[in-house]
Structure 1
């Protein structure tokens, strides 16, 4: 004889209290949610290697988790420190040369170019706003560059603060990661026990979260690295600091719609203004065909291959995620969309008879 479970009033009271308590706990950890989610993503990506370490050293989960966290620290921190130092060096060198070029009359010489003069004349005739005065433009540029040292000092202090925040977040992420790796099996077992779904539905839901979390990292960050590398190569070819501008293009790739054009388009215009037409055309073609294709082909391929979402859903999940959550929205957005799709498929299966009856009514 089978008995069916009946929800009584005391159960609703318990569920309501549990929801309130869970929300209160969320408010407590909300400032650190980014580090927790990062730890969760890194644990998914690193768990196969961690499992091999654990099997190699025997049943010592604490030691295995410590080794994994140390490895991750060396994999992330050392390359990041070297690259950041090179980026800062190239950036400071570029802006120093730009300041010297301006003081030596480079801007005046550029604006006296006949092609620039004819372009300004055309713009002044047709643009609806105030006339562009070359001499006034040079003065404003000189005034801005004269305050550049102060701006760089302020920027340096901000970068120092951001670096400090990054290390604090990274240490917190490592702390959470240690427990996620060590207690992986018990955490999964607990989740399966408390989620009121069948085992197949739990498997489907957890597998989808794991796949989409991995694909979001691959789709967004690997695409940014690929675009940064391709853009940096192009900047090196035209004689600009490759690592600095390549990194800027990698960051710009996270910006929806505009993307890397925020970096390469002004560079093309600069090359046109200085008379380097061949390099300008080459950079334009490379940026549109190669750098643009990476974003249009690689990102949807990496994300769609694991998550099963079409390109339109991927686009809005990334766009909405960035709008609501910032950079972490590149992970949150696809996860929210994919969970919704999985729940919708579960709904279709559970209510299949009802839905078929409605269709035939």
Structure 2
């Protein structure tokens, strides 16, 4: 029978040095943590397909990993380029039409609308603040319109910079993904070896991370695509550029609480003000019932997956992840919550006798 392992002072020194070195290493890779995490998540999703390719060429692990990364590039980049170019075209057209509308008296027409006049009258009657000056509003909008061209130039430069950053991060992600696919078994074995857990505990933690990572990506992505498609279709029927505003709805769906209402609600008000009340009611109803129901039912269903997290925990993991980490928090948040729940379950198993004794006292 083997003697129980006893931690000595030199072991604590080694653990402290290892913790310090790990923190320093994290600081080195922290600027690139987003592409690294995405490579890890994509490797989990893509690994079954890579295994089939690796089985065709068992003696060429480098070549199979390169082919997998190349295939993934075509699967991601070509659709993105097509959609992105269409979005740029529709967005440019919409911006030009908006500029024309602003400079040719569109604001004055809206402010003179009977509904708007009544609304201003109610605000002036019941609001404790100073009444709105419509001429000041018109002058402010005119000033904004004169700066519209410069703002478009700045936005175009920002889009170009974001596209460049995206390309750089994508290439870095592919570089990391190559090694994750090629050395998958060795990496998993190394992680299992250094974790101070039993094999069953390691299986519980790693399986939960894998399941939640997959469900977080698929849940957020498929929900955004479904809401973007449904919302873009309704916007197209209502006379707006469908692909552009559908894409904006897909991005807006990632924002908790308000979500796609940031897009379809102002569009419905605009249609109401220009006299197209039928389309305004249709767009508002479609946005609230159809697009909203997709977020309420599809996201929790996909993100719950095989994990034990309730819908409430999923909600707070998403909004907390977004607040702390940004968009990548859509993945980080659920993973952190899921690992925490698994650790609590392991704690409950390890200290079952103690907890039972505490319950009886």
Query: Hey, what does 2:152 align to over in structure 1?
Result: 152
Query: Hey, what does 2:31 align to over in structure 1?
Result: 31
Runs of 4+ in 1 over 3 A off after TM superposition: none
Instruction: For 1:105 and 1:196, locate their aligned partners in 2 and report how far apart those are by CA, in whole Å.
Output: 70
User: Structure 2, unaligned stretches of length 5 or more?
Assistant: none
Cα offset, 1:306, TM superposition: 2.7
Cα offset, 1:74, TM superposition: 0.8
Query: Hey, what does 2:239 align to over in structure 1?
Result: 239
Query: Hey, what does 2:179 align to over in structure 1?
Result: 179
Instruction: For 2:54 and 2:243, locate their aligned partners in 1 and report how far apart those are by CA, in whole Å.
Output: 38
Query: Hey, what does 2:329 align to over in structure 1?
Result: 329
1:196 aligns with 2:191: no
1:76 aligns with 2:76: yes
For normalisation by structure 2, the TM-score amounts to 0.97
Cα offset, 1:77, TM superposition: 1.1
String of CA shifts for 1:171-192, please: whole Å, max 9, x gaps.
1000000000000000011111
Cα offset, 1:128, TM superposition: 3.0
Query: Hey, what does 1:55 align to over in structure 2?
Result: 55
Cα offset, 1:8, TM superposition: 1.0
Cα offset, 1:268, TM superposition: 1.3
Instruction: For 2:267 and 2:307, locate their aligned partners in 1 and report how far apart those are by CA, in whole Å.
Output: 36
Q: Specify the SS of the correspondent of 1:3.
A: coil
Cα RMSD (Å) of the superposition?
A: 1.2
Q: Specify the SS of the correspondent of 1:171.
A: helix
Instruction: For 1:325 and 1:336, locate their aligned partners in 2 and report how far apart those are by CA, in whole Å.
Output: 12
Which segment is superposed worse, 168-177 or 247-256? Answer: 247-256
Instruction: For 2:227 and 2:325, locate their aligned partners in 1 and report how far apart those are by CA, in whole Å.
Output: 23
Query: Hey, what does 1:162 align to over in structure 2?
Result: 162
Query: Hey, what does 1:348 align to over in structure 2?
Result: 348
1:1-361 equivalent positions in 2, closer than 5 A:
1-361=1-361
Cα offset, 1:348, TM superposition: 0.4
Cα offset, 1:136, TM superposition: 2.6
Cα offset, 1:113, TM superposition: 2.6
Instruction: For 2:127 and 2:75, locate their aligned partners in 1 and report how far apart those are by CA, in whole Å.
Output: 52
User: Structure 1, unaligned stretches of length 5 or more?
Assistant: none
Instruction: For 2:109 and 2:152, locate their aligned partners in 1 and report how far apart those are by CA, in whole Å.
Output: 26
Cα offset, 1:76, TM superposition: 1.1
Which segment is superposed worse, 248-257 or 201-210? Answer: 248-257
Q: Specify the SS of the correspondent of 1:69.
A: helix
Instruction: For 1:179 and 1:300, locate their aligned partners in 2 and report how far apart those are by CA, in whole Å.
Output: 33
